[in-house]
Amino acid sequence: MATEEESKPLNYIPEVVLKKRRNNEEWAIRRKLQLEERVKRLKSDNFIIKKPQQFIREYRDKELDLIQMKQRGKRKRPALVTPKSKLLFVVRIGGKQDMHPKTRKVLYSLRLRKIFSGVFVKENEAIMEHLQKVEPYVTYGYPNLKSVKDLIYKKGVAKINKERVPLTDNNVIEQALGEHGIICIEDIVNEITSVGPHFKEVAKILRPFNLNKPEKALQGKKRRFKDGGDSGNREDQINELISKMN
């Protein structure tokens, strides 16, 4: 009897089956962790389940924004007179859920993808048409030399070879813009301020400026600045806003 028990063969499990079993166990563990993470996310305060009414309200807001954008685009603009400066600094101050995708597209064409980002642009008919379309979400004006210099020296970042490069090394500037006679950060300041012949190349290399949220400088009103709101043309008063956001 003992001999029969000793000679009884062991159950053989093929290696393929063992490997599949291990994979299933690993998958089960991963799945469990994913579910736990999802439950944790659902319970977190930051996660908000939208009600159907909220989706309807957002849709209506976006459609209204599209209608208003088209109306603003048709609004007659005053003829461009020769300004003191052709340089504008544009700051995005709003635009989230209530914004239609076509409005967002115009903002993106101005490179204003984030709220409280700013860019230098050359004033012309096309730019003014874009700014009029997205007027409730931007404010702009004529920056002076001090504002330009402070922005570039403090927050200036270039995009060279698809990489973000701080404007601290003149060798990098010379490699990127040397063919245009721009070899240092002061040359960049001068080209931007004067809206020189190579303004487009310099402005293209400069990344949009990430500005600070100003305290009490913006009231969150979509009315135009001249009517007591935040948006639209501030002319020279843009310098005051820049100093608070830089």
- Each of the 246 residues of the chain gets a pLDDT tens digit; together they read 445 555 555 566 677 766 777 777 788 888 888 888 877 776 665 556 666 666 666 656 666 666 666 666 666 656 555 566 799 999 998 877 677 788 889 999 999 999 999 999 999 989 998 998 888 889 999 999 999 999 999 999 998 888 888 888 888 899 889 999 999 999 999 999 999 999 999 999 999 999 998 876 676 666 777 777 788 899 999 999 999 998
> What pLDDT score was predicted for residue 66?
63
pLDDT at residue 181 in the model: 92
pLDDT at 75: 64
Please give the pLDDT value at position 196. Answer: 92
What are 231's strand-pairing partners?
224
pLDDT at 57: 65
CB 84 within 8 A of CB 142: yes
Instruction: Give the closest residue to 106 by CA, choosing from 120, 92, 116.
Output: 92
In this structure, which amino acid lies at residue 191? E
- Cα–Cα distance for residue pair 10/129, rounded to 1 Å: 84
Can you tell me which residue has the tokens 């400026």? 209
Please name every residue paired with 206 in a beta bridge, in sequence order, or none if there are none: 158
In whole angstroms, give the CA distance from residue 29 to residue 117.
43
Cβ atoms 98, 67 nearer than 8 A = no
Q: Using CA atoms, how far apart are residues 232 and 222, in angstroms rounded to an integer? A: 9
Helix (H) / strand (E) element for 141: namely strand 138-141
